[in-house]
Structure 1
Amino acid sequence: MKIFSTLYDKVMTWSEHRHAERYLSGMSFIESIFWPIPVDVMLAPMALSRPNKALHFAMLATVFSVLGAALGYGLGQFFYDPLVVPLVESVGYQHKMEVAFDWFERWGVLVIFVASFTPIPYKVFTITAGVLNMAFLPFLLVSLVGRGLRFYLVAGLMMWGGPRMEAQLRKYVEVLGWLVVVLAVVAYLLLR
C-alpha cells in the first residue's frame, strides 16, 4: 500500500502552488495556537522545490509562528478557563499541559526554547506561558530564537541536500512514513 508516496507527491505539488507562501505563513501562525500539523510538513518540501527561496520560507515560518505564539500566550492569559480548557480536553492534551506546567516550573523561560524542538506541540507551551503570566518580552525573544533555529535548520538542510536529497527522500518515503507512524504510536504509548 503506497500511502506516503502519494501524499509526498501531493505535498510537493502544493509546495509549488502560487499561494504556497501564504499557506505556509497561515499554517505557521495557527500551528502555534491550535493546528496539530507541524510547519515542517510544508516548509521542507517548499525549501526542496525552491532552494533559492528556502531562507525566505524559513523567515516567513519564524515570523508567523512567533505572531501565533503571541496570540496563544494571550489566549492562555485571558481566556484559559472559558476557551482553552474545553479545547484542551476535547483534543486530549490534558497530560501535555501538565507536562508543560511542570517544565515551566523547572526551567522557566528556557522551556520555550526547548519546546521549539520537542515532539510536544509548541502551542501547549505558548498557551501555558500565558496562563503562568510569564514575562512577555522574554517569551517573544526566546520564541523567535527557538523557532527561528528550527525553521532555518530545516530550510538549510533542504538547501544543502538539494535534488539528491529529494530523490532519496522520494525513493524511501514509504519506509520513512511507516517508521514515523510506528515511532508516533510508541511515543504515545510511552507518554500515556
Structure 2
Amino acid sequence: MAFTSTRTKQWFERINGSKNMLWLLATLSFLETIILPIPIELVLIPLMAVNRQRIWAIAAVTTLGCLVASIVGYGVGMVLYQSLGTWFIEFMGMEQSYQAFQGFFDQYGFAAILAIGILPIPFQVAMITAGLSGYPIALFALAALIARGLRYYGLAWLVHRFGHRVESMWKRHALKTSLALGSVVLLLVLGMQALAGLIV
C-alpha cells in the first residue's frame, strides 16, 4: 500500500509540474484503459483540485485517451484475438469476466458496453468482445465515449463543487456509486430499446 501511495504521489508531482500535463494525462488514461492496474482517479482527483481552471480540459483529454485505447482494444479483438487477444485475457486474469460478459453482450449490445464502461469491471473485456463479434465500431465508440465521459466529467463536476474532499468520498463510495449509476444507465437504455421495439 505504501509503495502504491508513493508511486501515485510521484506520478502526481511529475504530471502536475509538466508543461505537457494534458498530453501526459491522455497517455496515462490510454495506458490505464489498456493495462495499468492502478485507477487513474488516484492521480486525476488531486490534479483537478489544484488545476480548477483547466478542470474541463483535464476531463476531456482523459476521456479522449480512454476512447483511443478502447478503439485499439476493439482492433485487437477484431484482428488479433486468436493470438494477442487470448494471451492478453489470460495475462490479465480476466477469463471468467470475459466469459460472463459474452452472454450479456450478445443479449444487450450497446447497453452492455455502456454498463461495463461505468461499472467497476475491466473495460478490456468489452473492447475485445465487441471487436471479436464484429459489433459496429461507431456504436462501440459512442458507447465508450458516453460511459467514460460520464465517469470523468462527473468526477470533474464533483471536484469543481467539493474540491479535495472528493478524494476521500471517492475512496469510500466509488464502488457503490459506480454500481448505482451503471444500473440506472443500463435500465434507461434497456427501457428505450423496449420502447423502440414497441413503436417499430
TM-score with structure 2 setting the length: 0.75
Given that 2:8 and 2:42 are in contact with CA atoms closer than 8 Å, whether structure 1 keeps it comes out as no
Instruction: State the one-letter code of the partner of 2:95.
Output: Q
Instruction: State the one-letter code of the partner of 1:16.
Output: N
Given that 2:28 and 2:40 are in contact with CA atoms closer than 8 Å, whether structure 1 keeps it comes out as yes
Q: Where do residues 153-164 of structure 1 align in structure 2 (5 Å cutoff)?
A: 153-163=154-164
Q: Where do residues 111-122 of structure 1 align in structure 2 (5 Å cutoff)?
A: 111-122=112-123
Q: Which residue of 1 aligns with 2:52?
A: 51
SS of equivalent to 1:32: helix
Point out the more displaced range, 13-22 or 150-159.
Answer: 13-22
Instruction: State the one-letter code of the partner of 1:34.
Output: I
Q: Which residue of 1 aligns with 2:124?
A: 123
Deviation at 1:55, TM superposition (A): 0.8
Q: Distance in 1 between matches of 2:128 and 2:9?
A: 34
Deviation at 1:69, TM superposition (A): 0.6
Unaligned runs of 5+ in 2: 175-200
Deviations 1:36-59 (A, max 9, x none): 333323321211121111110000
Deviation at 1:159, TM superposition (A): 1.3
Q: Distance in 2 between matches of 1:87 and 1:9?
A: 28
Deviation at 1:102, TM superposition (A): 2.1
Question: Higher RCO, 1 or 2 (CA under 8 Å, sep at least 6)?
Answer: 1
Deviation at 1:7, TM superposition (A): 5.9
Given that 2:23 and 2:61 are in contact with CA atoms closer than 8 Å, whether structure 1 keeps it comes out as no
Instruction: Determine if the alignment matches structure 1 residue 42 to structure 2 residue 14.
Output: no
Given that 1:36 and 1:121 are in contact with CA atoms closer than 8 Å, whether structure 2 keeps it comes out as no
Q: Which residue of 2 aligns with 1:150?
A: 151
Q: Which residue of 2 aligns with 1:61?
A: 62
Q: Distance in 1 between matches of 2:8 and 2:162?
A: 17
Given that 1:15 and 1:49 are in contact with CA atoms closer than 8 Å, whether structure 2 keeps it comes out as no
Instruction: State the one-letter code of the partner of 2:127.
Output: T
Identity of aligned residues (%): 26
Given that 1:29 and 1:68 are in contact with CA atoms closer than 8 Å, whether structure 2 keeps it comes out as yes
Instruction: State the one-letter code of the partner of 2:135.
Output: M
Counting matched residue pairs gives 173
Q: Which residue of 1 aligns with 2:183?
A: none
Given that 1:39 and 1:61 are in contact with CA atoms closer than 8 Å, whether structure 2 keeps it comes out as no
Given that 1:43 and 1:155 are in contact with CA atoms closer than 8 Å, whether structure 2 keeps it comes out as no
Deviation at 1:89, TM superposition (A): 1.1
Deviations 1:107-133 (A, max 9, x none): 111111111111111121111110111
Instruction: Determine if the alignment matches structure 1 residue 133 to structure 2 residue 125.
Output: no
Deviation at 1:33, TM superposition (A): 2.5
Q: Distance in 1 between matches of 2:104 and 2:42?
A: 26
Q: Distance in 1 between matches of 2:49 and 2:115?
A: 26
Given that 1:32 and 1:123 are in contact with CA atoms closer than 8 Å, whether structure 2 keeps it comes out as yes
Q: Which residue of 2 aligns with 1:184?
A: none
Q: Distance in 1 between matches of 2:32 and 2:125?
A: 10
